[in-house]
Each structure stands twice: as structure tokens, then as C-alpha cells.
Structure 1
């Protein structure tokens, strides 16, 4: 197994690995790499839905989802996103967010497996939330450190969220589901969220993943955020997503 840093300055690419055969030593390496780098890109996998669930369990216990159109019968652990409604959920997450931020205890880890790739469109963007925080001006950090944001369902999170394992601060904001910043007017909240969105997207701060069939991407949602890009229903793209529960996550030890 070879681990190579991605050019974006966060995340790593992993080669020479078959997730179906990950032994305890490899599992510890994967956990440590995710905790340190925030994002794992693993190409050339061949996973059935059951094998994806098993591979995700290397990082902890899984969340489950209701059965809906386009989802896999008997596999509540898999949330299928797609370009066509008959294949899964469409028009999902086209804004900067971390999965499960609407929960009181946010979803710590997401795992995507590419079932069908599109010829055009449908890339996923990632940005480093810890670097986003560290690259803020000190006076802005001071302002943001005392702020809390409220999701539309009432769940509140600090704008500066410390990682539960490392304590490293991150600029944590869901641009699609956040109703506003507590203690601020709607206008000020909107202006602040727009500023965060621009900061997430600043030049050199993002990694663009162009999906190939068999790709696996694993993200620490408390370290990185992601954003879907448009894709035409004329293209066929399917991603199977599994997520790890906050009360069941197994972190590694960062190098």
C-alpha cells in the first residue's frame, strides 16, 4: 500500500490496496491517514453493496436511511446519489457542507463508492476546513470563535469546531442547511455565510475529484467539506454513500 499526498495540500491518494482484504495493520494505517489528512482517495476497487458496508465498518458503526425510490432494497446503510431519479437521490449537496451536520452529534465520516461514472460533469469538490480556519485573519478568528450557527431544524453548532480527537479547530458551516448565525440579523448572517463560502472556494484551497468507476473516497467530515457540481440527467452517474455514526466512530492515531 502506497500513500501519496494530493496536490491540493490536504488528503492523500492510496494505491496498491484492496479494501476487501484490509487486515488489522492496514486498517490502522487507513484510520491514521484519515485522521491526519482528512481525505482518502482509493482507486480501482470492486465492491458489492455488502462489501462496501464491510469496508466502511473499518472506521466504525454505520448510520441507516429510509427506503426510497432508487435506493437498494435490504441495504439501509447505503444512501445512493445519482444523476437520474430511478438510480438514486438527485440534485444533492450542490453547496459546501459536511454530511450529517444537521445532527446534534455530526456525522464524522463519509465513504463514497463510484458504481457508474459519467462522461461529463458530476465532479465533487473538497476543501480543508482546518486550513480554512488557520488562514483566516486573526481578528476574524477572534470574531468567529464566539459564534454559533443554527440549522433549519434547530440544531446548533459552533462556527469554530474543534476536532474531537485532535482538538484542531475548523471553520465548520453547512451553506445549504444553516438558517443563520445566532445573535445576528438575517442580513448579517447571510453576508457572513457568503464570506465563508468565498473563503472555502479561494484559489488553491480545493481538490476536485473526477470520478471513475471503482473509486472510493473517504472523508473526515469534521476536517473537510465537500460540494457536488452539476450533472445532466442525460449522463448516468451513481455513487453509493455510507456514513459512520458519531457514537460508533473508530479514530486512528495521527502520525
Structure 2
């Protein structure tokens, strides 16, 4: 297994890896790499739904989802993101967000497997939430450190979230599901959200992943956020996404594994 950091400053490419055949020491190295880099890119995989769920278990217990049109009835752990309604959920996440932020205990890890891809469009953008916080001006940090945001379902999170394993601070905000900032007027809330949105999108802060069939991307949702980009209307693409439960995540670093 070879780990090569991405030039953007976060994330890493993992080579020499078959996710169908991972021993305990390699699994520990994967988890340590995810903690360090926040994002793992593993190309050239060939996973059945069962094998994807097994690979997700390397990071913890998967969440399950209701089975609806386009989803896999035998695999409720897999949430299908697609360009066509018959294949899965469409028009998903075209704004900066971390998966599962609407939960009381946010979803810590997402795992995507590329089943089918269009040659054009559909790239996913990723940005480093910890670096986003680090680059704030001191007076903005002081303000943001005190703020809490409310999702539309009433779930409240601090705007500056500490990673449960590393303790690192991250600027944590879902642009599509957040109703506002507690104690702020709608206008003030909108101003904060628009400022964070611009900050996430600042020049040089995003990694753009162009999907190829067989790609796997694993994200620490408490370290990075992501954003989908449009596809041509005629395109057909499918991403199988699994996510890890907050109460079942495995954060152990390599040296802690037996």
C-alpha cells in the first residue's frame, strides 16, 4: 500500500490496494491515513454491493436507509446517487455539505464507489474544513467560536466543530440544510452562511475529483466537506454511497491496532 498526498494540501491517493483483500494491519493504516489526510482516493476497484459494505466495515458500522425507487432492496446500507431517477437519488448535494450533518451525532465517514460514469460532468469538489477554520481572521474566529447553527429539523451543532478523535477545529456548516445561526436574525444568519460558502470556495482550496468507473473515495466528514457538480441531461452515472454510524466508527490509528 502506497500513500501519496494530494498537492492541494489535504487528501491522499492510495495505490497498491484491493479493498476486497485487506488484512488488519492494512486496515489500520487506511484508518490512520484517513485521520491524517481527511480524504482517500483509491482507483481501479471492483466491488459488488456486498464487498462495498464489507470494505465500509473497515471504518465502522454502516448506516442503513429506507429502500425506495432506484435503491438496492437487499442492501439498505447503500444509498445510490444517480443522474437518472430509475437508478437512484438525483440532484443530490449541489452545495457544500458534510453527509449526515442533520443527525444529532453527525455521520463521521462517507464511502463512495463509482459504478457507472459519464465521460463529461459530475465531478465532486472537496474542501478542507480544518484549514478553512485555520485561515479565518482572528476576529472572525473569535465570533465563530461562539456560534451554533440549527438545521431545518431542529438539530443544533457548533459552527466550529472539534474532531472527536484528533480535537482539531473545523468550520462545519451544511449550506443546504441549515436554517440559521442561533441568536442571529435571518439577515445576519444569511450573511454568515454566504461568507462561509465563499470561504469554502476560495481559490486554491478545493480538490476536484473526476470520477472513473471503479473509483473509491473515502471522506472524513468532520474534516472535509463536498459538493456535487452538474451532469449533462443525457448522462447516466451511478455512485453507490455507504456511510459510517457515529456510534460505530473506528478511528484507531495504526500503532493502536493489534
TM-score normalised to the size of structure 1? 0.99
2:172 corresponding residue in structure 1: 172
45-54 or 245-254: bigger deviation? 245-254
Secondary structure of the residue aligned to 2:87 is coil
User: Using a 3 Å threshold, how does the CA distance of structure 1 residues 254 and 156 change in structure 2: closer, same or farther?
Assistant: farther
Q: How does 1:81-230 map to 2 (within 5 A)?
A: 81-230=81-230
For residues 79 and 99 of structure 1, the distance between their equivalents in structure 2, rounded to whole angstroms, comes to 11
| Cα distance in structure 1, aligned partners of 2:110 and 2:196 | 22
CA distance in 2, matches of 1:175, 1:23: 38
| Paired residue total | 255
Which portions of structure 1, spanning 4 or more consecutive aligned residues, are displaced by more than 4 angstroms?
Answer: none
Match of 2:233 in 1: 233
Task: Report the alpha carbon displacement of residue 254 of structure 1 after superposing the two structures with TM.
Answer: 7.5
Query: How far apart are the structure 2 equivalents of 1:166 and 1:222?
Result: 10
Shift of 1:208: 0.2
Q: Is the 8 A contact 1:78 1:242 kept in 2?
A: yes
Match of 2:8 in 1: 8
Tell me the TM-score normalized by structure 2.
Answer: 0.98
In structure 2, runs of 5+ residues without a counterpart are: none
Gap change, CA 1:254 and 1:36, over 3 Å in 2 = farther
- Structure 2: distance between partners of 1:194 and 1:232: 27
Q: Distance in 2 between matches of 1:25 and 1:53?
A: 19
Give, in whole Å, the separation in 1 of the partners of 2:233 and 2:38: 31
CA distance in 2, matches of 1:190, 1:215: 36
**Partners in 1 of 2:68 and 2:35 — Cα distance?**
33
Shift of 1:8: 1.1
Contact 2:149 2:159 in 1 (8 A): yes
**Segment of structure 1 superposing worse, 1-10 or 39-48:** 1-10
**Which residues of structure 1 form unaligned runs of 5+?**
none
The alpha-carbon deviation at position 119 of structure 1 amounts to 1.1
Considering only aligned residues, what root-mean-square deviation do their CA atoms show, in Å?
0.9
CA distance in 2, matches of 1:91, 1:104: 24
Asked whether the equivalents of residues 125 and 227 of structure 1 are also in contact (C-alpha less than 8 Å), the reply is yes
Match of 1:102, SS state, is: coil
Once residues 41 and 56 of structure 2 are traced to their aligned partners in structure 1, the CA distance between those partners, rounded to angstroms, is 14
